[in-house]
Amino acid sequence: MFFHIVLERNMQLHPRHFGPHLRDKLVAKLMKDVEGTCSGRHGFVVAITGVEDVGKGLIREGTGFVTFPVKYQCVVFRPFKGEILEAVVTMVNKMGFFAEAGPVQIFVSNHLIPDDMEFQSGDVPNYTTSDGSVKIQKESEVRLKIIGTRVDATEIFCIGTIKDDYLGIISDPGAAS
Amino acid sequence: MSGEPREEEENAAELKIGEEFLKAKCLMNCEVAIILEHKYEQLQHMSSDGGADQVSQVFEKSQGYVKRFSRYKNPDAVRQVRETLSRYSLHEFELCTLGNLCPDTADEARALVPSLVPGGRFQGDERIDKMLNDLSLIKKFE
């Protein structure tokens, strides 16, 4: 899910930037440092949308650098266990398939694909039902449920399932619908 | 590791998403699409020398994703969806899941958002049906 949240960060600024454009410099540096990063706690920082408050700077002894506490609003993407979302299939193999929902990768193991779907190898590897009516391949859009997340300091990776009611394919790139 | 107080395991189906995110504002894909589009235009204005290709991979992927999975494109419709859904005493997270997935039936809605069931907010199908109907009307007249 995407969220709009307020985060805080201590920004260090070199003395050469102290002047009328200090705030601009601070904001530009904040965007450069924070956007595109990922933390286990807050998820992926997609975009900073505003700066709420720049606190009083503290001069660091010996270096002349100043640390400013900055409060900023941003859009983050944070997947949760139990969340249901839509994703695009990026790779299919006999172990299962990978899908992407925005910045996050989700793996769906073949144990979590309905039993009536079989893996078919070939030019376009896919999972197909025995009657051929449903096919999951690269670029398919699927609705899945996240059942596990692995979080480390700079990355979030998810495990998903499509073996439940109202989950599975939403659109099939092969079929003209 | 043992003996340390562990945080309660998260589970979006029961709205266990942590204090911080419970209080935060959730965004539907269509809302994110508008925000990111706006930000992208701003970036292009700021630097004429093609600064727009400096956006992070996370930004690019998110933008591609929300463009692909936005149910409502028109900003007025997006606002209406939030307004309409907020009349049903939903939690932010429930509201956005419904707005993103647009279930067709009450059964589907309860399967996708299990937290709707307890608490007696939606006894019987009528209220859910009405809500889903409101949503599909917005889509129809977009």
**What confidence tens digit (pLDDT) does each residue in A87-124 have?**
999 999 999 999 999 999 999 999 999 999 999 999 99
Predicted pLDDT at B3: 45
Question: Domain coordinates of chain A in residue numbers?
Answer: 2-77, 84-171
Q: Using CB atoms, which residue from B11, B26, B112 is nearest to A166?
A: B112
Q: Are strands A141-152 and A66-77 parallel, antiparallel or unpaired?
A: unpaired
| Contact status of A82 with chain B (Cβ, < 8 Å) | yes
CA–CA dist A12, A30 (Å, integer): 10
pLDDT tops 70 at residue B52: no
The model's confidence at residue B48, banded by pLDDT at 50, 70 and 90, is low
> In the prediction, which pLDDT does A177 show?
38
Q: Is the dihedral of CA A66, A67, A68, A73 positive or negative?
A: positive
Structure tokens at A127: 């999972």
Burial B46-65 (b: 16+ CB within 10 A, else e): eeeeeeeeebbebbbbbbeb
Q: Does the beta carbon of A81 lie under 8 angstroms from any beta carbon of chain B?
A: yes
What's chain A's Rg over C-alpha atoms?
Answer: 22
List Cβ neighbours of A10 (8 Å cut-off, separation of 6 or more).
A67, A68, A69, A70
* Alpha-carbon distances, residue A94 vs A120, A122, A130, A137, B19 (angstroms): 8, 11, 16, 12, 39
Instruction: For residues B77 and B129, give the distance between their C-alpha atoms in angstroms, rounded to a whole number.
Output: 20
- Interface contact A38, partner B, CB < 8 A: yes
Is residue A175 over pLDDT 90? Answer: no
Q: Which residue ranges make up each domain of chain B?
A: 29-68, 75-140
Q: Does A52 touch chain B (CB under 8 A)?
A: no
A123 at interface of B, judged by CB pairs closer than 8 A: no
| CATH 3.40.50.720 corresponds to the domain A84-171 | no
Side-chain half-sphere of A112: how many Cα atoms within 13 Å? 18
What band does B21 get if pLDDT is binned at 50, 70 and 90?
very high
Name the residue with higher pLDDT: A81 or B3: A81
Section B6-22 average pLDDT: 85
Query: Looking at residue B32, what is its pLDDT?
Result: 97
Contact across the interface for B61 and A100, Cβ inside 8 Å: yes
What is the per-residue pLDDT for B49? 57
- A2/B29 touch (CB, cutoff 8 Å), yes or no: yes
Instruction: Give strand ranges (E) for chain B.
Output: 25-27
Contact A80 B96 (CB under 8 A): no
Predicted-complex ipTM score:
0.90
In angstroms, the CA B106 to CA B22 distance is 25
On chain B, the residues whose CB falls within 8 A of the CB of A103 are: 57-58, 61-62
Superfamily of domain B75-140: RNA Polymerase II, Rpb4 subunit (1.20.1250.40)
Q: Does B117 touch chain A (CB under 8 A)?
A: no
Share of chain A above pLDDT 90, in %: 90
Longest dimension (CA), chain B: 58
B4: closest CA of chain A, how far (Å): 18
Count of residues for chain A? 177
| CATH class label, A2-77 | alpha beta
> According to the model, what pLDDT value does residue B141 have?
86
The answer to whether the CB atoms of A80 and B12 lie below 8 A apart is yes
B106-129 pLDDT per residue, tens: 999 999 999 998 777 887 788 999
Q: Chain A residue closest to B104 (CA)?
A: A166
Residues of B in Cβ contact (< 8 Å) with A75: 27, 32, 35-36, 62
Query: Between chains, do B32 and A46 touch, taking CB under 8 Å as contact?
Result: yes
